[in-house]
């Protein structure tokens, strides 16, 4: 067929063009997403069919399923999203027939639908070599969520697992078996792992690193048969006469295009499979498109998701009258395999005639880098990076844009020294056409356009362009483009805390820590100017409280506090306060409930159980606060710090104490965490949750720190939040012991307190962090910055110096004077009225104001300022 079909299919009629998408995988969903986000989306009706029992999910992140993520966590869309955008969806129903003349499809259930344009996004299927015995029970594949469920079930009856295939998916599968505590093996036909992407040196280092993790690697092995084993369920017999025994076998030996439907109905198929397409992703039928791994362009199948996304974009463009086309895709990739950083760029095997190579090997650090350049050393042809992939963001666009290399190309992979070469090849050297995010096809120019449109924060830029929201590998470069462009625009990249301090919050925290500064006045005198303001005073007060944990109402600190901190309670809209005692993990005795009830009745307080499993009293007047606190303290309660930017609650389910599904004692862990971190001042409020099993009754994954019990220990999730912009927490580490869990939380909390901006939630903090989750792991787990011991010591000092602020205030008569309405009278505020509702007094409404009283000639006591 011709390479390009120029006839476009713009819909000019009033009747919506009916688009049927066969397959609702990642690429099929991307096509739908592009249609519903198109300015003319109302001219198109979309129907999608999926033979799987669920809508599109992230296959790239499949291995995360074995680290605690659920099928819901992996979802890319939802029924609500499709309903909202008018997309019809049919699951568990395979399209089995195409009538090209009538332009209809028929499903296995007998459903018939007509179409104007048909999009085949049927993907691929795992290649299973025809090995005798390979179809036995516990011989599985690694492709869908159902496959993962089968692997998990088999692992419960197995001790040894083998993956046939040492490519990208094979190693991901090996990671999964390893996480299931199987004695794991990888069997590869080629002489090295990832033979397509890596050269001999890179493959050798990758093998060493993976074997150090406890996974056995067998290369140059051709499996001849699978028979019954002696010590395990099966025996794998190789062509060289050797064998290994295993209980489970997972085939991950590559993919084949799912072209059966097109093949049956006379749509052109390539010689070795795949639906032949042109640059517009049109097949041999002018009304049928093919995209993703089922499509064959220029004799090539593209087995990565990014090219599939580009095909989806091209197909939508052609249907809607645009000019975007698919002209091939770069197959460079950067990933982390079993904790090992690996990247492959362009001609990794130096197959270009006359190619020259430069190699850097650091055995001590486990680093291998190889550059492949043109014969005249002017352009970059490819690269292999193992153990350190930081240069990927620079090297990839240099290769794609054929940029001129420095006179000494080796400086691009050598360790950086003063005057080293990489600084000359930053983002400013890249043309606007340079692709920054391959997952979502975002160029440098796209980022610049978004920045000029107002996206001047990293999280904002990621959100509006989607750059960095796929695999995350480009996040650091997105940040570099942002800063470089702001500088060009004359926008000073200024993160000073305020006009009184020419330092960021992080820098000020380091100054307080290293110079042991204990007061605001001392910090201002040494490192600031002026008198301070409502921005810097509370921020510095919070930092001082985090590091030194001194009583916030001391003379040196009280001037820095917000109203809520000054009065140790949350001021409400009528001028009264709420009182929230700590009820750690929501656990309270019957007597405790009675005591709280008596206090609520005595002071006529509106009472409500909060979402954080605490009891909140509303309507306390200023003079009543110490009286209420005294009774609470006598009953064994202490402040719940609901008024401060600090730990609020640690929510929990009942866990293994009572629940028949509970894996671990979630209540005890939640109590321990709340008592450990209570009172810690932080840049913003912190919330935690502990669930006793993956049913997640404590909603832990919507918290700053979420902990979920499994049969192997605790899974830790970080940086989630509810509120106006909910964010699902990310899995940080799995199968942790109690000690490991607490150690990691200590480190993360204190690193957050040191490095976050003022009033920045943990979710935004991580989204704006260069390197994101992976960088945070390197700091906390690998101690990349050599900070962990200091972070732990800092946290221990906070724990050791904790005091209940209510009790501390009750013991200080001078401080109690503040809790009076007037400085010259014991009078109380009698201008409040109740509004009765559902058996409680609530929404107290202010009576005529002081100004009105003065107008009547009434004497008003002097108010305290």
Q: What is the CA radius of gyration of the chain?
A: 32
Q: Which of 767, 756, 765 is nearest to 478 (CA)?
A: 767
Which residue, chain included where needed, has tokens 């309507």? 619
pLDDT for residue 248 is more than 50 = yes
Write out pLDDT tens, residues 141-162.
999 999 999 999 999 999 999 9
φ/ψ (deg, to 5) at 843: 50, 60
Q: Where exactly are the structural domains of the chain? A: 17-124+257-319, 139-253, 505-561, 645-801
Is the torsion defined by CA of 32, 35, 38, 43 positive or negative? Answer: negative
**How many CA atoms are closer than 13 Å to the CA of 527, on its beta-carbon side?**
22
219 in the Ramachandran plot: left (φ > 0), alpha (ψ -120 to 50) or beta? beta
Superfamily assignment of 17-124+257-319 in CATH? FAD/NAD(P)-binding domain (3.50.50.60)
Longest dimension (CA), the chain: 108
Write out pLDDT tens, residues 514-528.
999 999 999 999 999
What was the pLDDT predicted at 340? 87
DSSP per residue, 238-262: ETTS-EEEESEEEE-S-EEE--HHH
The alpha carbon of residue 453 and the mean position of all alpha carbons in its chain are separated, in whole angstroms, by: 25
pLDDT for residue 669 is more than 80 = yes
Band (pLDDT 50/70/90 cuts) for residue 726 is: confident
The domain 645-801: what is its CATH number? 3.30.413.10
pLDDT for residue 17 is more than 70 = yes
What was the pLDDT predicted at 179? 86
The alpha carbon of residue 275 and the mean position of all alpha carbons in its chain are separated, in whole angstroms, by: 35
pLDDT for residue 185 is more than 90 = yes
pLDDT for residue 856 is more than 50 = no
What was the pLDDT predicted at 433? 82
Residues 233, 247: contact at Cβ < 8 Å? yes
How far apart CA 185 and CA 216 sit, in angstroms, is 5
pLDDT for residue 3 is more than 70 = no
Average model confidence (pLDDT) for the chain? 89
Query: Count of residues for the chain?
Result: 865
pLDDT for residue 627 is more than 50 = yes
Instruction: Taking each helix axis as running N to C, give the angle between helix 772-780 and helix 738-755, from 0 to 180 degrees, rounded to the nearest 10.
Output: 120
What was the pLDDT predicted at 236? 97
Write out pLDDT tens, residues 730-768.
999 999 999 999 999 999 999 999 999 988 999 989 888
Band (pLDDT 50/70/90 cuts) for residue 814 is: confident
Helix (H, G, I), strand (E, B) or coil at 372: strand
Write out pLDDT tens, residues 298-337.
999 998 898 999 999 999 999 999 999 999 988 888 887 8
How far apart CA 422 and CA 118 sit, in angstroms, is 48
Which residue, chain included where needed, has tokens 């007597």? 591
How far apart CA 495 and CA 472 sit, in angstroms, is 24
Q: Please state which CATH class domain 139-253 belongs to.
A: alpha beta
What was the pLDDT predicted at 472? 67
Do the domains at 139-253 and 645-801 have one common CATH topology?
no
Band (pLDDT 50/70/90 cuts) for residue 425 is: low
Query: How many Cβ atoms are within 10 Å of 555's Cβ, its own excluded?
Result: 8
């Amino acid at each position: 067929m011709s390479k390009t079909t120029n006839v476009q299919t713009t819909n000019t009629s009033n009747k919506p063009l009916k688009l049927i998408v066969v397959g609702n995988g990642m690429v099929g969903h991307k096509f739908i997403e592009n249609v519903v986000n198109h300015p003319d989306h109302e001219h198109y009706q979309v129907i999608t069919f999926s033979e799987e029992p669920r809508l599109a999910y992230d296959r790239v992140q499949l291995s995360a399923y074995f680290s605690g993520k659920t099928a819901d966590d992996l979802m890319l869309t939802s029924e609500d999203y499709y309903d909202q955008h008018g997309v019809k969806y049919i699951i568990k129903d395979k399209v089995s027939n195409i009538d090209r003349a009538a332009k209809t499809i028929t499903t296995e259930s007998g459903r018939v639908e007509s179409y104007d344009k048909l999009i085949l996004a049927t993907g691929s299927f795992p290649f299973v070599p025809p090995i005798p015995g390979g179809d036995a029970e516990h011989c599985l594949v690694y492709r869908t969520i159902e496959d993962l469920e089968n692997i998990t079930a088999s692992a419960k009856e197995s001790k040894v697992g083998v993956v046939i295939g040492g490519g990208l998916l094979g190693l991901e599968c090996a990671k999964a078996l390893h996480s299931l505590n199987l004695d794991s093996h990888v069997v590869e036909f080629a002489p090295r792992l990832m033979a397509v992407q890596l050269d001999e040196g890179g493959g050798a280092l990758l093998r060493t690193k993976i074997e150090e993790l406890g996974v056995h690697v067998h290369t140059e092995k051709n499996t001849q048969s699978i028979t019954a084993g002696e010590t395990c369920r099966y025996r794998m017999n190789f062509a060289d006469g050797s064998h290994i025994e295993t209980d489970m076998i997972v085939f991950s030996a590559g993919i084949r295009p799912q072209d059966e439907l097109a093949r049956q109905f006379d749509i052109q198929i390539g010689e070795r499979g795949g639906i032949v397409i042109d640059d517009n992703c049109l097949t041999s039928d002018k009304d049928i498109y093919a995209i993703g791994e089922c499509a064959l362009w220029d004799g090539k199948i593209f087995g990565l998701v990014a090219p599939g996304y580009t095909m989806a974009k091209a197909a939508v463009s052609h249907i809607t009258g645009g000019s975007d086309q698919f002209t091939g895709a770069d197959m460079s990739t950067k990933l982390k395999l079993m904790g090992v950083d690996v990247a492959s760029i362009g001609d990794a095997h130096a197959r270009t005639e006359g190619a020259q190579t430069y190699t850097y090997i650091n055995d001590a650090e486990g680093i291998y880098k190889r550059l492949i350049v043109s014969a005249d050393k002017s352009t970059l042809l490819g690269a292999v990076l193992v153990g350190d992939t930081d240069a990927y963001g620079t090297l990839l666009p240099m290769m794609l844009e054929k940029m001129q290399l420095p006179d000494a190309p080796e400086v691009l992979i050598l360790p950086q020294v003063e005057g080293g070469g990489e600084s000359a090849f930053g983002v400013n050297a890249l043309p606007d056409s340079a692709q920054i995010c391959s997952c979502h096809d975002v160029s440098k120019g796209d980022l610049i356009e978004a920045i000029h449109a107002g996206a001047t924060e990293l999280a904002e830029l990621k959100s509006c362009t989607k750059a960095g929201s796929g695999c995350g590998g480009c996040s650091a470069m997105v940040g570099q483009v942002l800063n470089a462009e702001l500088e060009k625009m004359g926008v000073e990249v200024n993160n000073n805390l305020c006009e009184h301090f020419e330092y960021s919050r992080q820098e000020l925290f380091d100054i307080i820590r290293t110079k042991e500064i204990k007061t605001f006045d001392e910090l201002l005198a040494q490192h600031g100017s002026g008198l301070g303001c409502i921005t810097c005073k509370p921020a510095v007060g919070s930092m001082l409280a985090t590091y030194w944990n001194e009583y916030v109402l001391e003379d040196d600190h009280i001037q820095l506090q917000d109203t809520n901190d000054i009065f140790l309670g949350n001021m409400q809209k009528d001028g009264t306060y709420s009182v929230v005692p700590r009820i750690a993990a929501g656990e309270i005795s019957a007597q405790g409930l009675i005591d709280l009830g008596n206090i609520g009745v005595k002071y006529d307080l509106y009472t409500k159980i909060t979402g954080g499993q605490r009891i909140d009293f509303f309507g306390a007047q200023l003079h009543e606060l110490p009286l209420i606190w005294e009774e609470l303290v006598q009953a064994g309660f202490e402040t719940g710090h609901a008024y401060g930017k600090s730990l609020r609650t640690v929510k929990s389910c009942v866990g293994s104490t009572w629940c028949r599904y509970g894996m671990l004692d979630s209540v005890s862990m939640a109590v321990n965490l709340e008592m450990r971190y209570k009172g810690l001042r932080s840049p913003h409020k912190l919330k935690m949750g502990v669930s006793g099993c993956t049913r997640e009754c404590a909603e832990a994954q919507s918290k700053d720190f979420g902990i979920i019990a499994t049969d192997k220990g605790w899974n830790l999730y970080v940086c989630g939040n509810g509120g106006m912009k909910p964010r699902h927490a990310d899995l940080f580490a799995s199968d942790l012991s109690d000690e490991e869990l607490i150690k990691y939380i200590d480190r993360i909390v204190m690193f957050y307190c040191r490095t976050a901006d003022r009033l920045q939630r943990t979710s935004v903090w991580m989204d704006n962090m260069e390197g994101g989750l992976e960088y945070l792991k390197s700091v906390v787990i690998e101690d990349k910055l050599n900070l962990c011991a200091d972070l732990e010591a800092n946290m221990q000092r906070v724990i050791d110096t904790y005091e209940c602020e209510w009790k501390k205030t009750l013991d200080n008569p001078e401080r109690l004077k503040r809790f009076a309405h007037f400085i010259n009278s014991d009078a109380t505020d009698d201008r409040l009225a109740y509004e009765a509702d559902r058996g409680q007094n609530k929404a107290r409404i202010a009576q005529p104001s002081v100004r009105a009283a003065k107008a009547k000639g009434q004497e008003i006591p002097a108010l305290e300022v």
